[in-house]
A and B are shown apart, each in its own frame.
Chain A
C-alpha cells in the first residue's frame, strides 16, 4: 500500500509502470527457485486436478449381457440414481447367450456396440441361458463336452477380444450362485471358462459367487440390505433377484470397479490409499 502511495505522489502513470516492471522482474528472477523447490507438488497437484476434471464429466459404463446383465444394470442405476456422475448404458437381452446364435448373435452385437457406442468401461455378465447343447456346422454338441467347451471358449474369447479392441477396461462378472443344484453346478463350469478366457485377454474377472452365499458357501435367498435389515435377495425361483438383491448386486460390482473409475487415488505421501473427497460416493 505504501509503495503505491509513493509512485502516485511522484508521477502517476510513470510510477505505476516502474512498479509493475519491478514486480515482474523480481518474479522472473525468483521463479526458477520456486519451481525447483516445489516441482513435485505441482505435478502431483496437476495430476490430481486432471483426474478431478476428468472425473467431473459423466462416466459411461456399458452393461452387456442377458437378463443378469439387466439385473446388474438396474442395481447400478438405482444405486446411483441422482448422482449424475455415471451413465449406465444397457445392452441386455433376455433369454440370450453365447450358445444360441440363431436367437441372438452376441458376437456380432458386441462388434456393433464397440463401433457405435462411446463408453468408458464395459461390464459383462452372460451365460445364464447357456446350459444347453449347440449346433455347429449341422453337428449337435452336447453341453459341457470337450467339443462344446472348445467352441464356447472360442466364442467367449472372440467376445472379449472385440471389447478389448475398444481400448477401454473390460470387466467380466461371473454368474452368481443359484438355488437349483444342477444349474449351480453348470454355472460353476461356465464361470471357470470365463475366468480362464478373461485372464488370457486382459479382462478383469469379478466373481459374484459368494455375494449370495452364506458363511458356509451355500446358496441363500436372504441377506442384509444397506440399512442392515434382513431381506429377501432372490426370487422364489432361486435365480433372479428381488429388488433388494439387485441393489446388493449393483453395489457389490461397483465396489469392484471403483479403482478403475479413479475413485481411489494415491496421495503424494505414497502411503495409504484414500478416496478423493470430490469423487467420493
Chain B
C-alpha cells in the first residue's frame, strides 16, 4: 500500500478517526495501532508479518535479558547475541543471493564447475529499517539509555509502527518509547505541521521526482552509451535530486502522518545540497541513518579508547562502506559507500593539513569549494547508486568521458527543475515550520480544505500512476 494512493488515504482516515476516539484508553489505542500496522505490512506480503513479529520478539527478549542480568560480561554477551541474530536474519534475506552470485562468479573465473545452493529469496519490504530499529533498542538498553522496562505491546508497536515501518526514518527507541507511555495530544500547531509535511511530501514525490525520473533519469540510465554528454551530465544531477526528493518525500509523509496520530519524529533531511562540506552533507542527509551509523557502528569500531588519526580514517571508511552495503546487496552500493568513505577521509585530512591555505581563502570561496566538492562527490557516486550493475556504471563514466554533442532529454524544463530543487536547499531552514505557523490560526475546516486542495493539485499536476519510493527496496 503506497502512501500516495487512494487506498492508503482511506486506510489512514479510518486509523485516524478510531485512534483519536480511543485517545483516553491508552492500551486499546496502542493495540489498535499495532493491528493496523500489521495490516499495513500484510498488504505488501502477508508472509512477512511473521518475520516482523519474530524480529520484535527477539529484541523484546533481548531487552528482558539485559534488564534481568547485572553482570557486565553477561549483559555484553546478551547484547552481542541479539545484535548478531538481527544481522543474521538481515544477512540471510538481503545478502545470501549476493553472496552466492559473487561466489559463482569466482568459481567460474577459476574454472570450477559447481552448482551452489541457490534460493529464491524475496526481500521483505523494510527489513533494513526494522532490523536497525531493533538493534538500536537492544543497544540502548545495554548502554542504560532505556531504563524503564518496556512492555511487549510497546516494543512491538515501536518496531512495526506503520508510518516509518517500510522506509524509515529509523526511529530511536529512547525517543519514541516514552511517547507511547503517555497520552497523545494533537494541538493546532502539530496538526498544521503534519498536514503541511504530507502535502509537501506528496508534491515532491508525485510531481517533481516522478517527472525527473520518467523524463530524464530512467531513459538515460537504461542505456548510457546511447546518450549525449549533456543528457548524461543532466541525468547525473537529476538522479541526485530525484533520490533526495523521493526519500525526503517519504520521510515528510511518514513524519506528518505520525504527527497527525500524536507522535513526534525527528527531521530526516535538512537541506543537504546546501552543505559546504561532505561531512556536513552527511549530517543533513538521511539523518536517522547517519546518526545510527555514528552511534552504533562508528562507536563500536572506535571502542572506548582514544583514536589515532589513522584509526579515525579507518573507522570513517569502514562505517561508510558498511553504510553502502546496508543500502543494497550489490557491488555498486559497496563502491558507492567506499567513494563516500574515501572522500570523507580525504576531506578530513585536507582540513587537518591545509590550515594555512584555508585561512588565506575568503570564507565565501572556501564555502564554494566545499560545496562543489561535496555536491559533486555525491552526484558522481550516485551513478553507482542508481546503476543496476557495475557494467552500466562503467558505461556511464566511459560515456561521460567521450564527448557526444546534442541533447535529447535534458529539456530546459528539466534543467530548470534540477536547478530549482538544488537552489531551495539554500533557503533558510524550517521553511515548512514557518508555513505551518502561518496556517495554524486557521479554522479546522479551512485547514482541511487547503489540505484537500493540496492533494488534488499534486494529483492533477503529476503524471498518472505511482512509482514506488526508491528506498522501499532497502
Binding site for B on A (CB under 8 A): 67, 70, 74, 90, 93-95, 100, 103, 132, 179, 220-222, 227-232, 235-238, 240, 242-243
Structural contact, B222 and A94, CB atoms closer than 8 A? yes
Structural contact, B120 and A94, CB atoms closer than 8 A? no
B contact residues around A103 at 8 Å (CB): 214, 463
Structural contact, B219 and A227, CB atoms closer than 8 A? no
Structural contact, B226 and A90, CB atoms closer than 8 A? yes
Contact of A228 among B113, B226, B473 (CB under 8 A): B113
Asked if B71 is an interface residue, CB under 8 A from chain A, the answer is: no
CB distance from B32 to the nearest CB of A (A): 29
Asked if B465 is an interface residue, CB under 8 A from chain A, the answer is: yes
A contact residues around B24 at 8 Å (CB): none
Structural contact, B389 and A70, CB atoms closer than 8 A? no
Structural contact, B118 and A235, CB atoms closer than 8 A? no
Structural contact, B391 and A230, CB atoms closer than 8 A? no
Structural contact, B120 and A132, CB atoms closer than 8 A? no
Contact of B120 among A222, A231, A237, A243 (CB under 8 A): A222
State the CA gap A90–B329 with chains docked (Å).
31
Q: Which residue of chain A has the shortest Cβ distance to B221 in the bound complex? A: A94
Contact of A94 among B97, B108, B218, B388 (CB under 8 A): B218
Structural contact, A94 and B465, CB atoms closer than 8 A? no
Contact of B113 among A179, A221, A229, A235 (CB under 8 A): A229
Structural contact, B104 and A231, CB atoms closer than 8 A? yes
Asked if B304 is an interface residue, CB under 8 A from chain A, the answer is: no
Interface membership of chain B positions 391-404, coded 1 if the CB is closer than 8 angstroms to chain A and 0 otherwise: 10000000000000
State the CA gap A231–B105 with chains docked (Å).
9
State the CA gap A231–B137 with chains docked (Å).
38
Asked if B101 is an interface residue, CB under 8 A from chain A, the answer is: yes
A contact residues around B116 at 8 Å (CB): 230
Asked if B447 is an interface residue, CB under 8 A from chain A, the answer is: no
Say whether, besides A67-B222, A132-B465, A220 and B108 are in contact (CB < 8 Å): no
Say whether, besides A90-B226, A222-B120, A228-B113, A100 and B97 are in contact (CB < 8 Å): no
CB distance from B102 to the nearest CB of A (A): 11
CB distance from B134 to the nearest CB of A (A): 23
Contact of B388 among A179, A222, A235, A238 (CB under 8 A): A235
A contact residues around B101 at 8 Å (CB): 231-232
Structural contact, B104 and A230, CB atoms closer than 8 A? yes
State the CA gap A187–B80 with chains docked (Å).
47
Interface membership of chain B positions 316-333, coded 1 if the CB is closer than 8 angstroms to chain A and 0 otherwise: 000000000000010000
CB distance from B385 to the nearest CB of A (A): 15
Q: Which 4 A-B pairs have the closest CB atoms?
A: A94-B218, A94-B222, A95-B214, A222-B118
